[in-house]
Amino acid sequence: MTQINHRIPNEVEGKVALVTGAASGIGKAIALMLHARGAKVIAEDINPAVEALARPGLVPLVADISKDGVAERAVGLAVETFGRLDILVNNAGIIINKLVIDMTREDWERIQAVNATAAFLHCREAVKAMMPNKSGAIVNIASYASYFAFPTIAAYTASKGALAQLTRTLALEAIEHGIRVNAIGVGDVVTNILNDVVEDGPGFLAKHGEAAPIGRAAQPEEIAEVVAFLASDRASFIVGSVVMADGGMTVTAG
């Protein structure tokens, strides 16, 4: 019988990471997993609940990622506190469910500001900090909605499509400096992202995930595992990819 190695690898040991949207859901799982596997972590979120993650080697930052100067502040905190920045995970994201004809410009721009523009700003500042070290990894949390759509999520799909293309383009620009940029095409994950849209956000996502070939939604820790791999030197040859972690949704979508 084949023996399975259940040892958890310290794949990011000694590295410094910045994770956005870290107060709950996927972001919280990522921050805690990277920390457990040896990284020092800046956990950034607009929600003050992120402060509950504070512990040696894990520093919370309460901030609105869409505001000017916040990316500079977050990256600066990593460098000032831990001496460098090795990993950026752009996880923060929001969604709105409205038909295009019912959507205001403010609705549209709020989604783009958080999901796309803030990721761009954090990427820009992270690359600047990583370049002197000639190494680094950026992981953007995209979506199967980067490629496929459902009615009422035009703003979200546009923002996630933009994030996928930002990933590919920045990957070409950054690799000469030893910095790898990749994304994850996430499917339905049991989180609170829909709490402002439906009565039971996690329950809705769990039910919606049953439509995937795997027959269920993911838990946040399953996405965190992919992040930890892409952020580590084990993924040294993966550049500019959108790694699909969607339970097979994109195999059948459309």
Q: Kindly state the tokens that stand for 139.
A: 């992981």
Evaluate if residue 253 carries a pLDDT over 60: no
pLDDT in the model for residue 8: 61
pLDDT in the model for residue 4: 41
Q: Would you identify the CATH topology of the domain 16-247?
A: Rossmann fold (3.40.50)
Comparing C-alpha atoms, which of 209, 212, 245 is closest to residue 230? 245
Q: Kindly state the tokens that stand for 164.
A: 């996928």
pTM of structure:
0.92
Contacts of 77 (CB under 8 A, 6+ apart): 42, 59, 61
Mutual orientation of helices 154-174 and 118-130 as an angle, nearest 10°?
Answer: 20
Angle, vertex CA 208, rays to CA 204 and CA 209, nearest 5: 120
The yes-or-no answer on residue 156 being catalytic is yes
pLDDT tens figures, 8-41: 678 899 999 999 999 999 999 999 999 999 999 9
Evaluate if residue 1 carries a pLDDT over 70: no
The one catalytic residue in 156, 179, 184, 188 is: 156
pLDDT in the model for residue 210: 58
- Name residue, tokens 């930052």: 61
**How high does pLDDT run on average in the chain?**
91
The total of other beta-carbon atoms located within 10 Å of residue 240's CB is: 16
Evaluate if residue 133 carries a pLDDT over 70: yes
- What sign does the CA torsion over 222, 61, 234, 167 have? positive
Q: How confident is the model at residue 120 (pLDDT cuts 50, 70, 90)?
A: very high
Q: How confident is the model at residue 6 (pLDDT cuts 50, 70, 90)?
A: very low
